[in-house]
Structure 1
Amino acid sequence: MLVLQEFAPQTLLISLAIGLLAGFVKGAIGFALPMIMISGLGSIMAPDLALAALILPTVVMNAAQALRQGVGPALESARHHWIYLALVLGFIGLSAQLVRHLSAQTLFLMIGVPVTLFAVSQLLGWRLSFPPERRRPVEVTVGAIAGFCGGISGVWGPPTVAYLTALDTPKQEAVRVQGVIYGAGAVMLLLAHMRSGIFNTETAPLSALLLLPAGVGMALGFRAQDRMDQTRFRTATLVVLVVAGLNLVRRGVMG
């Protein structure tokens, strides 16, 4: 409980509010929980502690998202995207060991710059697309990039969203696929950072504390998602990416 005991009450309240917001956005658009958490928590605590804090909410909320339509559809999504999933898991395990060797500014910029560029370009009308015969090399490349970013930062959503967008994946399926991919990756992230020392007996209580607000937020977000059509869903997704990405860039530049 050492980490929690060191926090001022207002820091804990802000952390809980960030967890609630991250859960709501996750429920509404299917991703961005770790991005919002590392962006928000990283503004009030050390980056490695923010990374540890998001791990348990990421594992549990992604499991809930993946299984929302049942076990069968979740397994089918995993089968259809198994190569992408395997690459994400492998690269998360490898790159997680680099966290201790990167500065906070480098970490924030590595995440924030590509997130912002992708989201802005999409909002301006650019569409990532590729012919069916090129799907496999694109899947391999994007999966490796997503896993590498995920192990370092706990964030592997943007490359995955770009990949699913390029495939014109329908809203409900896209959300379920993301839950499967992020959920499996989150378990790997947990194991990798138990090994790296980021997630330990001192940081685990903070991560566990954030499960409740994230869960409440996600339940509310599911209700919002059910009311959105495909166009509003996509726009909301990209706006969240821009906001989170710019905040990470700010942290990377200003320290």
Structure 2
Amino acid sequence: MNTLSSSDWLTAVLIAVTAGLVKGMVGFALPLIMISGLSSFLDPRLALAGILMSVLATNGWQVTRQGLTPAREAAERHWRYLLIVMVAIFLTAQLVTIIPRRAFYLILGVPVVGLSLMQLRGVRLHVPPERRAAAEWGIGLVSGVLGGLAGTWGPMTVLYLMAIDTPRARQMVVQGVIYGAGAVVLFLAHLRSGILNAETFWFSAALLPAALIGMSLGFKLQDRMDQALFRKVTLIVLIVAGINLIRRGIFG
């Protein structure tokens, strides 16, 4: 880390601000933006460590922004999803140094782009109430595996919440609770895996203020959106995130 140039630091800070801005607007995509941006010029392990403090803190802010009662209700409503995501993240994070991740990027990226494009064209995905328990186990497992291996478990979570017609305010809280719980597990898992250590911790901490500044600006933009605009912007961010996952799956 002591070999990073001033231009490397400036680039890393700008990436963190951008990731925080998008996170504040739509409630997700900070890990996707940071990990893809940082890993384009840093060692992938340092890039992964670099996102951990920002992921943890921004999700904590998102959870508590509307108070603790909505957060508790979200946790009770989606406890299955929370449980499987946390277990899958912890288990798969231990394999991050030995399992190639490119196949997982493709497996997630292709359906995310396809499903998001369908919804932008007016096709509404819907999970009926009687199938939601099974959907939470299955989608939560996929999200957790990607979270452990690549530090991102957002896209499938967002698609699921949109498929059950979650209102904007509740969606932001639910995403914050799910991502926040996963972020705690991811942080602890990478303390165990060695990705986060005495050196990389300070790099991760140095990027946190930039991510928080970006998120503050994003919250202001989100507060001006109605439900329809929020849904459209969310789908566009999903498409961009999915294309980036496909790119990483093909080119590494």
How does the TM-score come out when normalised to structure 1?
A: 0.93
Distance 1:158 1:141 in 2: 14
Give the 3 Å change call, closer, same or farther, for CA 248–137 of structure 1 in structure 2. Answer: closer
Alignment-derived partner of residue 211 in structure 2: 214
Name 2:55's counterpart in structure 1: 58
TM-aligned CA deviation for residue 147 of structure 1: 0.9
Matches within 5 A, 1:150-165: 150-165=147-162
Map Cα deviations across residues 1-23 of structure 1 (whole Å, 9 max, x no partner). Answer: xx1x1111111111100000000
In structure 2, what residue type is equivalent to 1:174?
A: Q
Contact 1:22 1:36 in 2 (8 A): yes
**d(CA) in 2 for partners of 1:214 and 1:110?**
28
Q: What amino acid is aligned across from residue 185 of structure 2 in structure 1?
A: M
Equivalent position of 2:224 in the other structure: 227
Task: Confirm or deny: 8 A CA contact 2:128 2:164 kept in the other structure.
Answer: no
Question: Structure 2 vs 1, CA of residues 115 and 9 (structure 1 numbering), >3 Å: closer, same or farther?
Answer: farther
Matched, 1:82 2:74: no
- Give the whole-Å Cα distance in 2 for the aligned partners of 1:97 and 1:164: 28
Structure 1 contact 43–251 (Cα < 8 Å) conserved: no
CA contact (8 A) 1:149 1:156 kept: yes
1:72 corresponds to which residue? 69
Q: Is the 8 A contact 1:39 1:244 kept in 2?
A: no
Q: Of residues 32, 35, 51 in structure 2, which corresponds to 1:35?
A: 32
Is 1:242 the counterpart of 2:239? The answer is yes
1:150/1:156 contact within 8 Å kept: yes
Structure 1 position 107, deviation (Å): 5.6
Q: Is the 8 A contact 1:47 1:104 kept in 2?
A: no
C-alpha change, 1:248 and 1:146, in structure 2 (3 Å) is: closer
Taking the aligned partners of 2:60 and 2:173, their CA distance within structure 1 comes to 10
After TM superposition, give the deviation of residue 114 of structure 1 in Å.
3.9
Aligned AA (1:235): K
Q: TM-score, normalised by structure 2?
A: 0.94
Percent identity over the alignment is 51
Determine the C-alpha separation between the residues in 1 that align with 2:136 and 2:105.
Answer: 25
Cα distance per residue 1:109-143 (max 9 Å; x no partner): 45533433333333233332122111111111111
Compared with structure 1, are the counterparts of its residues 90 and 178 closer, same or farther at alpha carbon in structure 2 (3 Å cutoff)?
same
Q: In the TM superposition, what is the alpha-carbon distance from 1:47 to its structure 2 partner?
A: 2.2
Aligned to 1:136: 133
Q: Aligned to 1:152, what secondary structure does the other structure show? A: helix
Partner Cα distance (1:182, 1:188) in 2: 10
Match for residue 253 of structure 1?
Answer: 250
2:197 to 196, 200, 214: 200
Residue 178 of structure 1 aligns with an amino acid whose one-letter code is Q
Amino acid at match of 2:69: G
Q: CA deviation at 1:106?
A: 4.2
* In structure 1, distance between residues paired with 2:52 and 2:115: 25
Task: Deviation per CA, 1:11-55: give whole Å up to 9, x if none.
Answer: 111110000000011011111111111121121112222111111
Q: Distance in 1 between matches of 2:65 and 2:97?
A: 36
Q: Matched residues in 1 for 2:86 and 2:107: separation?
A: 19
Cα 1:80–1:208 change in 2 (3 A) is same
One of 150, 166, 169 as aligned partner of 1:169: 166
Partner amino acid, structure 1, of 2:58: M
Question: Is the Cα–Cα contact under 8 Å of residues 101 and 150 in structure 2 kept in the other structure?
Answer: no
Q: Gaps spanning 5+ residues in structure 1: where?
A: none
Give the aligned length.
252
Contact 2:101 2:149 in 1 (8 A): no
